[in-house]
Amino acid sequence: MVDYVAAIKRPLADTTTALVGIVVGAVPLVNLLVAGFGLEAANKTLNNDNSLPNWSNIADILVKAIMSLVVGFVYMIPAMVVLAVGGGSMAMQIMSGDMSGLLAGGAIMLLGLLLAVIAGILVPMALLHYLKGGLGKAFSIGSILKKCLTAKYLITVVVAIVYNIVLMAVAGVIGGALLLVPVIGFIVVFVVNGAVLYLGTVASYTMFAQAFKEIKA
């Protein structure tokens, strides 16, 4: 059984590591490293090590961050193409003054959004396959679908989404209040956002890795 509570607590298992993660998460562009750190945590879980990784192996974390971008981008290509076609179709209809095709364009856009949601579900599992067998395994669609189309994984996805929404809601309330404080409040908002990114990423990938190990498909 996926231990969701342990996964949520894991990012805070070491104070120094957590503080570094929050700072990294607060800096634009640099915060991409948080994805690599999340995959590092997932990799340890896959190898039956539930301790929190540290930031010392920054080169490996960077490689994992880049791989997460590459895999995510590839899986999003169908959605991006369909959204571009739908958006272009609607734009042409509006410019021509002929609104008869807007419904069709809207339907294409909805299809694109659906493909984006599907990609979002597949990507974490694809990245776990990458951790187990290299980049090629990230595109083993048959194996990925078998694990994704299980109640355990889909429940884990829902739990991860809900947890991240809760984090963002809390951050929104805190951020809204802090923005009333000139300069310092603005800086603290960045830190709060960094905390949300770090906590959400590490907890989510820990959950996904636990589910991966337990699903025998």
- Tell me the C-alpha to C-alpha distance, in Å, between residue 164 and each of 56, 144, 201: 26, 23, 9
Amino acid at site 17 = T
What's the token pair of residue 82? 């369909």
Those residues whose C-beta lies under 8 Å from the C-beta of residue 38, and which sit 6 or more positions away, are 201, 202, 204, 205
Residue (of 215, 188, 205, 180) closest to 45 by Cα position: 205
Burial of 153-166, coded b for 16+ CB within 10 Å and e otherwise, reads beebbebbeebbee
**If you average pLDDT over every residue of the chain, what do you get?**
91
- pLDDT the model gives residue 77: 97
Residue 59 clears pLDDT 80, i.e. is over it: yes
**Statement: residue 209 has pLDDT above 70:** yes
Confidence of residue 99 (pLDDT cuts 50, 70, 90): low
**Per-residue pLDDT for 217 more than 80?**
no
Question: What pLDDT does 91 receive?
Answer: 78
Ranking 107-116, 153-162, 202-211 by mean pLDDT, the lowest is 107-116
pLDDT for res 81 = 95
The model's pLDDT over 136-184, given as tens digits with 9 standing for 90+, comes to: 999 999 999 999 999 999 999 999 999 999 999 998 888 777 767 777 7
Between residues 134 and 175, which one has the greater pLDDT?
134
Q: Which two tokens stand for residue 176?
A: 């809204």
HSE on the CB side for 73, CA within 13 Å? 6
Question: Is 80 exceeded by the pLDDT of residue 96?
Answer: no
Average pLDDT over residues 103-123: 91
**In the structure encoding, which two tokens stand for residue 44, read together?**
């340890």
- What pLDDT score was predicted for residue 130? 97
pLDDT value at residue 198? 97
Mean pLDDT of 63-86: 95
* Span 19-29, average pLDDT: 94
pTM of the model: 0.90
Task: Give pLDDT, residue 48.
Answer: 93
Least confident segment among 84-88, 132-136, 164-168:
84-88
The domain limits of the chain are 4-214
